[in-house]
């Protein structure tokens, strides 16, 4: 939009004007429009991130309205015509399609007085009559309504996209994150770990789960999985990451200043699930690994941590299941008899 407006302003400077009301003033306004429009277009090419940053939204809204105003008045002064007043639709569409929702309403409120100013100034320049306010109103209503309609459909599309994103990254049976979302969510969790805290990755597996499906059917098996997911939520902290990676296998990512509280929460979750009536007496084996607090953590560490947690889980299974094993620890932590 800015680039197109800038090019049109440059072309207007090249078109001869037979009897301009004020040629110099019109050329100056067209030059200002061209410089602003092409300047913003050049910025978007050299630094595309600037257009995606909300810090510049208000500036772009102001510049868009400035271009609409200067182009309309420039035409009236340069040619004595009034076609450019319809360019007022561009800032409205720009706000509806690209800026934040708050600025869309600001633009909707700002458009009528700006159009009134433009039409009134043009009436003074070319003498189009005293009832300029009627023309301003006729121009403003469709411009504002068009922008609000675009904003409505944009908001609906964004809400639908957000819902689809959540569905893609969510396990439909348990409501936990799925394997697809694990890496992205782990990166966000790693970025907000408080200093001095250690990130722990726990791999959990429901013992002999296949026997539940074989004996009671998959519907009951699904109830057991949902039960365990609910138990994990009850024992997780608000910023923990809970993932069903497949079948009866789950991953729990958390952060603590010490290891003992993590192990205590895992043990409490295992005991709570085993005692739950919907668990069908299914026990849980777990493998736990901690990232050293002295080493910077990033999303790239996840695969290594998962591998170690998986190795600890297999050690717990080898020890007889129904226990927690710490990676590198001397022996599993067994469920009390």
Helices (H) and strands (E) counted in the chain, each on its own, are 12, 7
Tally of CA atoms within 13 A in the half-sphere of 55 that contains its CB: 3
Q: What gap in Å lies between CA 150 and CA 154, rounded to an integer?
A: 6
Spatial neighbors of 197 by CB under 8 A, at least 6 apart, are 255, 256, 257, 293
**Does residue 256 carry a catalytic annotation?**
no
Q: Are 34 and 13 in contact (CB under 8 A)?
A: yes
**HEC per residue, 170-232:** ECCCCCCEEHHHHHHHHHHHHHCCCCCCEEEEEEEEECCHHHHHHHHCHHHHHHHHHHHHHHH
Kindly report the number of other CB atoms within 10 A of residue 28's CB atom: 15
Q: Check residue 141 and report its DSSP letter.
A: H
Here the tokens at position 24 are 């110099």
Q: Is 335 left (phi over 0), alpha (psi -120 to 50) or beta?
A: beta
Catalytic residue (one of 75, 248, 256, 267): 248
Catalytic residues: 248
């Amino acid at each position: 939009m800015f680039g197109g407006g800038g090019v049109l302003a440059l072309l207007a400077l090249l078109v001869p004007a037979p009897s301009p009301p004020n040629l110099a003033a019109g050329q100056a306004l067209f030059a200002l429009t061209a410089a602003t429009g092409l300047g913003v277009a050049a910025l978007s090419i050299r630094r595309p991130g600037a257009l995606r940053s909300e810090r510049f939204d208000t500036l772009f809204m102001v510049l868009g309205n400035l271009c609409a105003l200067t182009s309309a008045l420039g035409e009236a002064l340069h040619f004595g015509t009034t076609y450019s007043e319809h360019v007022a639709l561009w800032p409205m569409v720009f706000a509806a399609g690209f800026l934040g929702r708050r600025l869309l309403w600001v633009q909707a409120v700002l458009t009528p007085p700006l159009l009134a100013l433009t039409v009134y100034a043009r009436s003074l320049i070319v003498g189009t009559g005293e009832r300029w306010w009627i023309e301003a109103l006729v121009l403003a209503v469709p411009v504002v309504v068009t922008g609000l309609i675009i904003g409505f459909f944009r908001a609906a599309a964004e809400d639908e996209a957000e819902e689809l994103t959540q569905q893609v990254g969510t396990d439909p049976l348990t409501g936990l994150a799925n394997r697809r979302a694990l890496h992205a969510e782990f990166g966000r969790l790693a970025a907000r770990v408080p200093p001095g805290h250690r990130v722990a990755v726990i791999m959990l597996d429901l013992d002999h789960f296949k026997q539940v499906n074989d004996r009671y059917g998959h519907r009951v098996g699904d109830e057991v999985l949902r039960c365990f997911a609910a138990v994990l939520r009850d024992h997780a902290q608000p910023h923990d990451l809970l993932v069903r990676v497949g079948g009866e296998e789950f991953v729990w990512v958390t952060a603590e200043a010490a290891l003992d509280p993590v192990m205590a929460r895992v043990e409490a979750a295992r005991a709570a699930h085993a005692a739950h009536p919907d668990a069908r007496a299914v026990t849980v084996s777990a493998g736990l690994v901690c990232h050293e607090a002295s080493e910077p953590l990033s999303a790239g560490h996840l695969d290594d941590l998962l591998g170690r947690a998986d190795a600890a889980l297999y050690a717990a299974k080898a020890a007889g299941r129904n226990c927690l094993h710490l990676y590198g620890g001397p022996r599993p932590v067994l469920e009390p008899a």
